[in-house]
Amino acid sequence: MAFIGAGIPVLFLTTMQHADYHRVTDEPARLDADKLTRVARFLVYLAYAAADDPARPGWRAGGLAAARTAVR
């Protein structure tokens, strides 16, 4: 959220699929290892593509304003 506040482009991935997400009552048994592996692999490819692209990441039109509204 600090990056959005500073206007730095970000990619934030979360499912927030259950009421105990990031709470004391959250349990490791809720993890889906296969899905976690697929998401991690996707993030590696995404990071590689971003690092390999000569253009710097940027905001789409209206994206920064929408992100700042969403995090309030």
Determine how many CB atoms are found less than 10 A away from the CB of residue 64. Answer: 15
**Does residue 45 have a pLDDT over 90?**
yes
Residue 16, pLDDT score: 67
Residue 54, pLDDT score: 95
Domain chopping of the chain, boundaries: 2-70
Residue 14, pLDDT score: 72
Q: Token pair for residue 52?
A: 């390999």
Cβ neighbours for 39, distance < 8 A, ≥ 6 positions apart: 13
**Does residue 9 have a pLDDT over 80?**
yes
Per-residue pLDDT, averaged over 59-72, amounts to 85
- Token match 């976690």: residue? 36
- Greater pLDDT, 65 or 21: 65
**Does residue 43 have a pLDDT over 80?**
yes
Q: Token pair for residue 47?
A: 């990071």
d(CA 63, CA 70): 10
